[in-house]
Amino acid sequence: MSIELRGSYSTSRNNSLERNSFRSESFSEDRDQEVIPDVGCLSIVVLGASGDLAKKKTFPALFNLFRQGFLQPNEVHIFGYARTKLSDDELRERIRGFLSQGKGASTEHTDDLLKFLQLVKYVSGSYDSEDGFLLLNKEISAHESSRRSQPGTSRRLFYLALPPSVYPLVCKMIRGYCMNQSHLSGWTRIVVEKPFGKDLFSAEELSVQLGELFDEQQIYRIDHYLGKELVQNLLVLRFANRFFVPLWNRDNIANVQIVFREDFGTEGRGGYFDQYGIIRDIIQNHLLQVLCLITMEKPVSLKPEHIRDEKVKVLQSVLPIKYEEIVLGQYEGYRDDPTVSDNSNTPTFATVVLRIHNERWEGVPFILKAGKALNSRKAEIRVQFKDVPGDIFKCEETWTANVNHTE
C-alpha cells in the first residue's frame, strides 16, 4: 500500500491561521514571555521589487494576506525598492497582472485589488547608496506620521527579493539608515529567501554578516515552499492522527519518495539557475525540509525552536550519500537558453537516496527527486508501505520499478 500526498498550487481563503498571527505571536521577541500587542503602523518594504520573485510570489502573497484581513489598510503601507526607475503607477501596473483573476474576477476581488494597489508605493535607489536608503527612510517615516503612529511603536519589515550576493550590503544600509527606533513595542525585521549562500562556507559567512547587524529574533530565513498546504499538513497528519502514529517507522514503511517536477525549463532565467543547479535550488532546501517533517520525532511543542531542534537531530542522523545512489541529468535544450553558458554541466535533474541511521528509519531509503522541463508538474510525497504478510491478492512489488523509473 502506498499513500500519496500531492501538492496544491491554490491558495485557500479559509485558512486556519488566526487573524492576528501575522502580528504579535509570530514576531514576538520572546515567544515565552507576555505578548505585547502591536499597536503602531506597519511598513513592508520589498527590496528588489522590480524582479521576478516580487511580482510572481511576494506581491501576490501580500495581496492574499490583505484579502484575508491580515493587513489592515488603515495601518499598512507597502514600499517597493529597486534600482529600476519606475513610478508608483508603473510598479502597480507591473504587478497587477499577477494579482488579478482576469475577466472572471468578482467585483469584490476587483475592489480589493484597487484598494491594495493604493497601498503600494515605489522608491528607486541603488543598494549601496546612502541617498536611496535615506529617501526610503523618509518615505516610511512620512507614512508613520500620516498614521499618527506613536514614536517607537511602528513596525518595519524588509523583505529581500534580491540575489543573495546583495544581502550583506543591503542589510548594512537598512541597519544604518532605516531602522525603527523601537523602544516601545515596535520592531524591525529582515526576511531573506533561499538560497542562503551557496555552500557551507558562504552560508556561515552570510550568517555572521547578518548576525553582526541584527539580533537573531530580527532575522527570518524563509522558504516559501513550507507555506504550501501539503507541507503544512504534514505535522497534523503525523502527530494528530492515531491511525498513522504506530505505522510511521521502518517496520511498516518500505520507502519514501519526495518528488518535485516542473514541466518548464529556465525560460530565460538560466543566469541565476546555472550558478546553483537543481540540488541547491530545490533539493537542499525545499525537499530536505519536507524530509525533516516526515522523519523527525514529535517536537515538544509547535514552537519554532522545538521544531528546529527535532529537524537538526534527524539531519545529523543522515548518512553520507553514496555515489552510486545519485543520478544527475540536464534536459536537452537547456544550453539554448541565452543566459546559460554553452558548455554548462549544471544539473537540471537529480535523484538522491538518503538513509537515516536511527532507530525509526534504519534501512528505509528516502528518494529525493527534482527536475525541470519534465513531462508533468507535480509536488508529491509517496509513502510506500511494506506488503502485508500472507498476501492473498498476489500484489507485485512495484516500488523498485518506480525508484528506477527514468524521467
Ligand X SMILES: NC(=O)c1ccc[n+]([C@@H]2O[C@H](COP(=O)([O-])OP(=O)(O)OC[C@H]3O[C@@H](n4cnc5c(N)ncnc54)[C@H](OP(=O)(O)O)[C@@H]3O)[C@@H](O)[C@H]2O)c1
- Which residues carry out catalysis? 286
Stretch of 92-100, 161-169, 321-329, 391-399 contacting ligand X, by CB under 6 A: 161-169
In terms of DSSP bridges, do strands 76-82 and 120-124 run parallel, antiparallel, or are they unpaired?
parallel
Dist CA 151 CA 178 (whole Å) = 14
Query: Considering only residues 102-131, where is the footprint of ligand X by CB under 6 A?
Result: 127
Query: Considering only residues 65-94, where is the footprint of ligand X by CB under 6 A?
Result: 82-84
Stretch of 45-53, 243-251, 304-312, 329-337 contacting ligand X, by CB under 6 A: 45-53
Cβ count within 10 A of residue 19: 10
CB of 136 to ligand X, least distance (A): 13
CB of 229 to ligand X, least distance (A): 18
Which positions from 1 to 40 touch ligand X by CB under 6 A, shown as an x/- string? Answer: ----------------------------------------
Closest CA to 11 of 84, 89, 67: 67
Determine the size of the site formed for ligand X (CB under 6 A).
Answer: 21
What are the CA-CA distances from residue 281 to residues 71, 198, 272, 277 (Å)?
30, 10, 10, 6
| Of 139, 193, 262, 337, the one binding ligand X by CB under 6 A | 193
CB of 73 to ligand X, least distance (A): 26
CB of 57 to ligand X, least distance (A): 6
Dist CA 294 CA 271 (whole Å) = 33
Tell me: does residue 377 bind ligand X (CB under 6 A): no
Query: Considering only residues 262-281, where is the footprint of ligand X by CB under 6 A?
Result: 272
Asked whether 363 and 250 are in contact (CB, 8 A), the reply is yes
| Of 40, 80, 132, 164, the one binding ligand X by CB under 6 A | 164
280 residue type, one letter: R
Nearer to ligand X, 51 or 151 (CB): 51
Tell me: does residue 56 bind ligand X (CB under 6 A): yes
C-alpha cell at 72: 489592515
Closest CA to 65 of 7, 114, 19, 10: 19
Tell me: does residue 370 bind ligand X (CB under 6 A): no
Asked whether 256 and 367 are in contact (CB, 8 A), the reply is yes
Tell me: does residue 50 bind ligand X (CB under 6 A): yes
Q: Which residues of 156-180 are buried (b: 16+ CB within 10 A; e: fewer)?
A: bbbbbbbebeebbebbbbbbebbbb
Stretch of 3-11, 159-167, 226-234, 303-311 contacting ligand X, by CB under 6 A: 159-167
Stretch of 16-24, 44-52, 62-70, 130-138 contacting ligand X, by CB under 6 A: 44-52
Dist CA 47 CA 54 (whole Å) = 8
Dist CA 385 CA 365 (whole Å) = 12
Asked whether 49 and 85 are in contact (CB, 8 A), the reply is no
Dist CA 296 CA 289 (whole Å) = 10
Nearer to ligand X, 98 or 385 (CB): 98
Phi, psi of 14, rounded to the nearest 5 degrees: -90, 50
CB of 125 to ligand X, least distance (A): 9
Q: Report the interface residues with ligand X, using CB under 6 A.
A: 48, 50-54, 56-57, 82-84, 127, 161-164, 166, 193-195, 272
